[in-house]
Amino acid sequence: MPHADLSQNRAVKMLNAAAEGKYGVLGVVSYNMETVIACIRAAEAKKAPLQILLFPWALKYSPLFVDFCAHAARKAKVPVTVHMDHAQDPEVIKQASQILAEDGTPAFDSIMVDMSHYEKEENLAKTKELVELCRSRGIATEAEPGRIEGGEDGVKDTAELEGMMTTPEEVDDFIATGIDFLAPAFGNVHGDYHGVENIHLDYERLASIHERSKGKVQVVLHGTNEFPPDIMAKCIERGVTRINVNKLVLSDYNDYVAEKTGKVPLTQLLEEGTAKIQKMAEDWMDSIGCSEKA
């Protein structure tokens, strides 16, 4: 079956432009409205493109939150997409791919088909089938060859499985499934590094993965908690486009909420919390070069 043409998919267009312009696009792990509101404000203030990342948890929590994100993305004054990250259940992927925004287009511009908890052959077979399904609906897809160790909220903890870095063969195998974005494992981990000194990335591997996938898929970066700007810059130099962030934009907010809940009015908690996320997002947009790129 020939692959559907996704050249006009908004997430594909956004990351192609980032690759062309050699900058990173912020992909923000979003659990609540404050995060989405803050990051869209940041994107509009900085004239930056943005990707909102939801976990399958969002579907379980409330489909209304997905509707809200899709609506917010469409109302933004800059390009904003909605991505489902680490979808590990084929049923969830099928369900997510069917959700439509109010304009009749898919609510998710892209979905990460994460079958990395299966053995390789089954992983590839399942990935291919789900990628075709998503593509037929105009949705871009992402996969993680090798394993990025650690666990994110609501995501199966793969730490007990052997950590594996992405090999050139895996890059080819996964590109052949029809994916659009590839999340390589090159020393990056989900969760915490417990200090910048513990971040050991195989930059040569990243560069060769990028070389191998050039013109076919865009490389995206997972596992950035505690990354300083210079490490981010080295990754972008070696072809990374979307950069998934969690604590890097949410840590001030998390601290603030932990400290102030019950001590200030809820409206103040929401407003000031939102402002904290916006500030960190704006700083990262400047840092990774996507400001003024919308």
Instruction: Work out how close the CB of 82 gets to Zn ion at its nearest, in angstroms, rounded to a whole number.
Output: 16
| DSSP notation for the chain | -PPP--TT-HHHHHHHHHHHHT--EEEEE--SHHHHHHHHHHHHHHT--EEEEE-THHHHH-HHHHHHHHHHHHHSSS-EEEEEEEE--HHHHHHHHH-B-TTSSBS-SEEEE--TTS-HHHHHHHHHHHHHHHHHTT-EEEE-SSB--S--TTS---TTSPPBPPPHHHHHHHHHTT-SEE---SS--SS--SSGGG----HHHHHHHHHHHTTT-EEEE---TT--HHHHHHHHHTTEEEEEESHHHHHHHHHHHHHHTTTS-HHHHHHHHHHHHHHHHHHHHHHHT-TT--
Q: Is 114 annotated as a binding residue?
A: yes
**Contact characters 215-234, Zn ion, x per CB under 5 A:** -------x------------
Nearest CA to 203 out of 163, 157, 236, 241 is that of: 236
**Contact characters 167-206, Zn ion, x per CB under 5 A:** ----------------------------------------
254-293 positions binding Zn ion, by CB under 5 A: none
Instruction: Work out how close the CB of 86 gets to Zn ion at its nearest, in angstroms, rounded to a whole number.
Output: 6
Q: Is 222 annotated as a binding residue?
A: yes
Instruction: Work out how close the CB of 150 gets to Zn ion at its nearest, in angstroms, rounded to a whole number.
Output: 9
End-to-end CA separation in angstroms for the chain: 34
Number of residues that bind Zn ion (CB under 5 A): 1
Q: Whose Cβ is closer to Zn ion: residue 28's or residue 78's?
A: 28
Q: Is 194 annotated as a binding residue?
A: no
Please, are residues 1 and 227 in contact by the beta-carbon 8 Å criterion?
Answer: no
Q: Whose Cβ is closer to Zn ion: residue 222's or residue 238's?
A: 222
Cα separation, 236 vs 196, in Å, equals 18
Residue nearest Zn ion, Cβ-based: 222
Q: Whose Cβ is closer to Zn ion: residue 100's or residue 164's?
A: 164
Q: Determine whether 85 is an active site residue.
A: yes
Among residues 85, 109, 173, 180, the one annotated as catalytic is 85
Q: Whose Cβ is closer to Zn ion: residue 51's or residue 274's?
A: 51
Instruction: Work out how close the CB of 130 gets to Zn ion at its nearest, in angstroms, rounded to a whole number.
Output: 17
Q: Is 142 annotated as a binding residue?
A: no
Q: Whose Cβ is closer to Zn ion: residue 135's or residue 222's?
A: 222
Nearest CA to 145 out of 217, 53, 92, 194 is that of: 217
Instruction: Work out how close the CB of 74 gets to Zn ion at its nearest, in angstroms, rounded to a whole number.
Output: 25
Stretch in the footprint of Zn ion (CB under 5 A) among 40-48, 72-80, 127-135, 214-222: 214-222
Residue positions in the annotated binding site for Zn(2+)? 86, 114, 144, 190, 222
Any idea which residues carry the catalytic annotation? 85
**Residues engaged in binding Zn ion (CB under 5 A):** 222
